[in-house]
Chain A
């Protein structure tokens, strides 16, 4: 079956513009995660969805960041008024709630460059 997909693959935007990043999880996966990976760094947790609810938003770095999920499927991560420090790869992952705990399947990521 299809894996996790993300779009766009790459996004270049000017400082101050808003961007939307999309994630399509594996069908039937109820849990969805967003992570950020700065150049040469590990992954930082941003937000976790269970169904359409977000019980853990603790990783969102500022109120410029928001995310939503609809239909227990696609999720969008929105960054408003982008700053240069937002440049990173944004990775999405999904998992089955009743599956092997912690086993997350990742998409290929969106590389965001803020100029």
Chain B
């Protein structure tokens, strides 16, 4: 079974600084997709970034980028120039077509301070 592990329950970053959230996963599949979702207090899950496992190039979306290490089964999220609006729970998630569902980690709560 696939598992996703987020070992940092809470992280804190100062506004305008950079923070990296960690995620590891376990799978025997070769074709899969990885995601970072953001959940602010409103409960709405918002897709932050997506990575296809077959692509070596790391995905980037504006201030958000990932470090995807397939052999190590690691998928970290880097947030640059942190903003107060980035404060939220961040969930790492795994998807494969054979299972057709997202498997989530337990989340990392990110605080952004002035």
State the CA gap A87–B3 with chains docked (Å): 24
- A43 touches which of B33, B44, B91 (Cβ 8 Å): B91
Give residues in B with beta carbon < 8 Å to A: 33, 35, 37, 42-47, 50, 52, 91, 95-97, 99-107
Give residues in A with beta carbon < 8 Å to B: 31, 33, 35, 41-45, 48, 50, 55-56, 59, 89, 91, 93, 100-109, 111
- Extra contacts, 10 of them, besides A41-B106, A43-B45 (Cβ < 8 A), are A33-B102, A35-B102, A35-B104, A43-B91, A56-B101, A59-B101, A102-B95, A103-B50, A106-B37, A106-B45
The chain B residue sitting closest to A46, CB to CB, is: B101
State the CA gap A100–B105 with chains docked (Å): 21
- A104 touches which of B99, B102, B105, B107 (Cβ 8 Å): B102
- B95 touches which of A35, A56, A59, A101 (Cβ 8 Å): A101
**Contacts A41-B106, A100-B50, A103-B50: A91 and B45 contacting too (C-beta < 8 A)?**
yes
- B35 touches which of A33, A102, A108 (Cβ 8 Å): A102
**Contacts A33-B102, A43-B91: A101 and B43 contacting too (C-beta < 8 A)?**
no
The chain B residue sitting closest to A89, CB to CB, is: B43
Residues of B within 8 A of A41 (CB): 106-107
- B91 touches which of A42, A48, A55, A93 (Cβ 8 Å): A42
Closest chain-A Cβ to B44's Cβ sits at a distance in Å of 5
Check if B33 sits within 8 Å of A102, measured CB to CB. yes
State the CA gap A89–B44 with chains docked (Å): 11
**Contacts A100-B50, A101-B95, A102-B33: A45 and B101 contacting too (C-beta < 8 A)?**
yes
Q: Which of B37, B43, B91, B103 has the most CB of A within 10 A?
A: B43
Check if B102 sits within 8 Å of A43, measured CB to CB. yes
Check if A42 sits within 8 Å of B33, measured CB to CB. no
Closest chain-B Cβ to A7's Cβ sits at a distance in Å of 14
Q: Which of A35, A43, A106 has the most CB of B within 10 A?
A: A43
- B47 touches which of A56, A89, A101, A103 (Cβ 8 Å): A103
Check if B43 sits within 8 Å of A109, measured CB to CB. yes
5 A-B pairs within 8 Å (CB atoms) are namely A42-B91, A89-B43, A102-B96, A105-B47, A109-B44
